[in-house]
Every structure is written in structure tokens, then in C-alpha cells.
Amino acid sequence: MRDDLIDRATSLIREVAQTEVLPRWRHLSDAEIHQKSPGDLVTIADQEAERALTAGLTALLPGSQVVGEEAVAADPGVLGRVGDAGALWIVDPVDGTNNFAAGKTPFAVMVALLRDGEPAAGWILDVVDDRMTVAEAGSGAYTDGLRVKVRTDDPPASALSGAVSRSYFPDDVRARMERGMGALGTVTRGRHCAGYEYVAVVADVQQFATFWRILPWDHVPGALIVSEAGGTVLHLDGSPYRPTDSERGLLVAANEDVWATVHAALLA
């Protein structure tokens, strides 16, 4: 991929965040917040940011398509484009909308580029801190231009910290995980923002994160970033993650050894 496409997309994402998302944070009226489904919010910032990103990204790469979270909410058939041939952008205009609507952090803008169904690049922007993490397939991951890599050691389970996001997990899987959490160090319920969790693993703020619902806009950008930083992203059954996957959950970890340790603790 040409470096200028990465740079231009990075600039576009930042611009949209600064014009459509950040000015609305803590300034939303009740009329600008709606429920798509119980507990699942959408705001005018999500809608306007997705419109701006869709127009801007397709202009950067003529002939490309976009699968955005809000477009799929309006027409579920749009989701079927993931895996199509050609260039496809995946857009989460505000990841962590419930945090955003409540005037809290974290929240992020997330974008990925697929080529013929394969992740080619991913972006996660922490909007409030204006911190951008970018990965290009085969070229590594970078935060604000500096190469980032995960830790490579193999700590004991008791030394590991991470997030077990128990929402959406089947009852039997959740019960197994809750029984196993005691073997691990610090375990939180997550920050309700997948973009935060992936970057936190790369930055060694935490060493793992789990998810059950794996919609592409929540996970394709972060999965590429963690993988390009040397981390491990696999389904709970140990199989590789693909952008078209929507089942079997995910365990994200700093490296293969950490993945195996966390998996043994939570699901053995």
C-alpha cells in the first residue's frame, strides 16, 4: 500500500473526529441520543461522523466500498459486503457510544481497510487524547508515528491483568470464566470500548481482553493492530479470527504464551 494512503486516511480520521465527534462530547441534547436496541445507543455524532468518513474514505480510494456500523443498523444486508473482492473500508464512527453519550471516556474512532477480504490496514483514534494507533499488514503497528510492540515474556497467571467483558457470553461460558478469574491477577469488566482494550494490550496497560460479540467494526482494526505489534488474537477455541467471523468469541493477548495461560485459567 502506498504510504500516502495511510497518511491521508490518518488525517481524514483525525479531521472527522475533531469536527463531528469531539465538539459534541458532553454537549448532546436528549433529542440527539437514541436507542437502536435496549442498551445500545446511537448519537448524532455517530451518524454524522460515519457520513463524513464514508464520503472521505471512498474519495481517497475510488471504487472502494464502506461497511459502517450505522449503515448496517439501517440495512443489515450491508454487512454481507465484508469479505467481498476489492477494497472495503470498515468504519466504527464512535466506538464506546454509551461512554460518549454519558460524557465519559474511553471512546474512539476505528477504521479498517480490507483488500479482497484480508485486513490491509487499521486505525484506532483515542479522540480526547488525539492519540492515533495505526497498523499496516506486514509493516508493524505505530502509535503517533512510533513503532509499538507487545511484551514477549511469559509471566505467571497471577501477574497478568486484563478485561473479561462478560456481556453477551452464554451463561455456561460466563460461569466457567468467572470460576477461573481467581487464578489471574487484576481482572476488570472492561471499559465498554473495544478500541481501548486492543490498544491497552499493545501498550502493556493490560495483557489480555476477552469478547463474545465480534462485529467487524469493533474488532478488525484492533485485531490487525495487535497482530502487527506481535500479539495474538484467536477465537476461544484457538482458531484464527477472520473479518467475516461473528461467533466463537475472541481472546486477545500480548503473545502466544500469555494467550495460552489466560485460556487455561478461564476456559480449561
69 annotated as ligand-binding: yes
Single-letter amino acid code for the residue at 103: G
The burial class, CB within 10 Å (0-12 / 13-18 / 19+), for 253 is: buried
C-alpha cell at 77: 444486508
Please compute, for residue 196, the number of CA atoms within 13 A of its CA located in the half-sphere on the CB side.
21
**Interior CA angle at 44 toward 42 and 48, to 5°?**
115
- Short-list 117, 266, 263, 107, CA closest to 199: 107
3 annotated as ligand-binding: no
- Short-list 143, 165, 112, CA closest to 1: 112
- Short-list 152, 149, 174, 166, CA closest to 259: 152
46 annotated as ligand-binding: no
Question: How far apart are alpha carbons 161 and 159 in whole angstroms?
Answer: 7
92 annotated as ligand-binding: yes
Pick out the residues of the known binding site: 69, 92, 95, 218
Annotated binding-site ranges for Mg(2+) = 69, 92, 95, 218
